[in-house]
Amino acid sequence: MTRIKVSLLVVLLLLTALWLAADTLLPEPFTYFSFRTVFMQYSGVIGIGLMSVAMLLALRPKWLEPHLDGLDKMYRLHKWLGIAALVVAIVHWWWGKGTKWMVGWGWLEKPARKPVAGETLGAIEGWLRSQRGFAESVGEWAFYAAVVLIVLALVKRFPYHWFVKTHKWIAVAYLALAYHSAVLTKMEYWTQPVGWLMAALLLGGTVTALLTLTGRIGTGRKVTGTIAGLIDYPALRVLETAVVLEDGWRGHAAGQFAFVTSDKNEGAHPYTIASAWNPADRRLVFITKALGDHTSRLRERLKLGMPVTVEGPYGCFDFEDAQPHQIWVGAGIGITPFIARLKQRAATPDAKTIDLFHPTAEFEQAAIDRLTADAKAAGVRLHLLVDGKDGRLNGERIRAAVPEWQSASIWFCGPPRFGQALREDFLAHGLPPERFHQELFQMR
């Protein structure tokens, strides 16, 4: 989370610093309208800059994952950038539209524009000025559309399949806002660093928008496959799906995830991979729990032999660190990445000492028997806690079960609030923050 916060702050500070090198928020003479002029430019640069970076993250660039600790963190940054851009855009809109309203109501008196003697315009600047009225109208309506689409993306109750369909239309709004920005940005900026950065961001965002609208994001990492196995655990509301991939999968590390498409109308859903990679059988296993409309229908929809598309792998929840001891906490369906690591460790043992805690509210003996067998084969100490019988897991219980916890790292996957509570508890007891690893497995 620290990397996300720092990244957001760096983007804001960089855009602000470059803009201040080209302009000022304290114009002379300082009046409402002179300030409005420069503030509209500043807020416009910040707003479209934030949105452009958010668009670039939508490309799911693999090279950036190690720097931001995985695609899950990149998507969280993408979300924060979108929210920040929305807030700035609302302020930008108010200063533009609200001022016109206040002039119309008689609250403000707009100063007369003085003609510039002997002013001559180049061909490009003349064309841009001729577009100003149209660009303002386009920007205003694109702003309204973007507000609606971003708000829908933030509403968790809005069905995921509708979110997938509507969210891509932000790309259309972005293209309109990019045109609005290119036309209305002060001409002098384009010959300075702020303009160079803006040009690069607008170009990158435009390319991303076009790739989004044509469905080409991630095409180089997509592989087709066939469903080869289905195991249902009714008491857990969990479905285990085995997929045999065709050639092209580059392999994956235990703990990573992939986007899986079984229905083009539904779109791709992210699932953690619950198997180690074996090039000989090219099989991936996904474990899904019925938590929403889509996952609740999977046991009826998925059939043996059905074709699917898998895109990935993504994520940096890969268990790689220098600590001799690791504590794993897989809460509920959060056990999935640990199952993959158990299988990988059984095939290629290492010297690390592992304690795996699996708190769960639901119990099915067949699933527990498989987990117990996998843990034994991997040489991992399993601590099973069923809520109704064993009570809830907390930091104190982990420290009591693992006295040497201070030399360990903690890897958590499960409900975000539970993970946050554990993190705060262990940091309060002296665990270095970099030793607590948590996957933010939420794509919206």
Which pair of tokens denotes residue 51? 């949105």
For residue 431, how many other CB atoms are within 10 A of its CB? Answer: 21
Q: How far is CA 235 from CA 83, 301, 329, 363, 415, in A?
A: 39, 19, 21, 7, 20
Mean pLDDT of 333-361: 93
DSSP string, 360-388: ES---HHHHHHHHHHHHHHT-EEEEEEHH
Which pair of tokens denotes residue 179? 């045109």
pLDDT of residue 119: 58
- Asked if residues 53 and 219 have their Cβ atoms less than 8 Å apart, the reply is no
117 has a pLDDT exceeding 60: no
Share of the chain above pLDDT 90, in %: 76
State the number of CA atoms in the 13 A half-sphere of 38 facing the CB: 17
398 has a pLDDT exceeding 70: yes
Share of the chain above pLDDT 70, in %: 97
**Range with the poorest average pLDDT among 56-60, 197-201, 347-351, 369-373:** 347-351
pLDDT of residue 126: 80
Q: Is the dihedral of CA 227, 231, 232, 237 positive or negative?
A: negative
- Asked if residues 276 and 340 have their Cβ atoms less than 8 Å apart, the reply is yes
For residue 355, how many other CB atoms are within 10 A of its CB? Answer: 20
Q: How confident is the model at residue 444 (pLDDT cuts 50, 70, 90)?
A: low
pLDDT of residue 59: 94
For residue 438, how many other CB atoms are within 10 A of its CB? Answer: 23
- Asked if residues 11 and 50 have their Cβ atoms less than 8 Å apart, the reply is yes
Its CATH architecture, for the domain 325-438, is 3-Layer(aba) Sandwich (3.40)
The three-state secondary structure class of 277 is coil
Residue 270: cis peptide before it, omega within 30 degrees of 0: no
Mean pLDDT of 349-376: 92
Query: What ranges do the domains of the chain cover?
Result: 2-111+121-213, 219-314, 325-438
pLDDT of residue 116: 55
203 has a pLDDT exceeding 60: yes
Q: Which residue has the tokens 């919206």?
A: 444
Q: How confident is the model at residue 3 (pLDDT cuts 50, 70, 90)?
A: confident
The CATH number of the structural domain formed by 2-111+121-213 is 1.20.120
Strands 436-438 and 257-261: unpaired
Burial of 399 by CB count in 10 Å (0-12 exposed, 13-18 middle, 19+ buried)? middle
304 has a pLDDT exceeding 90: yes
pLDDT of residue 56: 97
443 has a pLDDT exceeding 80: no
pLDDT tens for residues 271-300? 999 999 999 889 999 999 887 777 788 888
Q: How far apart are CA 100 and CA 175, in angstroms?
A: 25
Cα-based angle 438, 439, 444 (whole degrees, multiple of 5): 135
**Range with the poorest average pLDDT among 4-8, 12-16, 240-244, 295-299:** 295-299
State the number of CA atoms in the 13 A half-sphere of 377 facing the CB: 16
Q: What is the DSSP letter of 94?
A: I
- Asked if residues 183 and 131 have their Cβ atoms less than 8 Å apart, the reply is yes
Q: How far apart are CA 176 and CA 212, in angstroms?
A: 15
State the number of CA atoms in the 13 A half-sphere of 165 facing the CB: 8
pLDDT tens for residues 229-272? 999 998 888 999 999 999 999 899 999 999 999 988 878 889 99
Nearest to 56 by CA among 82, 92, 88: 82
Q: How confident is the model at residue 27 (pLDDT cuts 50, 70, 90)?
A: very high
- Asked if residues 419 and 412 have their Cβ atoms less than 8 Å apart, the reply is yes
13 has a pLDDT exceeding 70: yes
- Asked if residues 381 and 356 have their Cβ atoms less than 8 Å apart, the reply is yes
Nearest to 27 by CA among 47, 14, 41: 41
Provide CB contacts within 8 A for 101, sequence distance 6+.
none
Q: How far apart are CA 145 and CA 373, in angstroms?
A: 53
309 has a pLDDT exceeding 60: yes
Q: How far apart are CA 428 and CA 412, in angstroms?
A: 17
Residue 29: cis peptide before it, omega within 30 degrees of 0: yes
Nearest to 272 by CA among 258, 291, 293, 253: 258
Mean pLDDT of 26-34: 93
Mean pLDDT of 379-390: 91
pLDDT tens for residues 135-151? 999 999 999 999 999 99
- Asked if residues 441 and 415 have their Cβ atoms less than 8 Å apart, the reply is no
State the number of CA atoms in the 13 A half-sphere of 105 facing the CB: 7
pLDDT of residue 121: 66
For residues 419 and 441, the model is more confident at 419
The whole-chain average pLDDT of the chain stands at 92
Its CATH architecture, for the domain 219-314, is Beta Barrel (2.40)
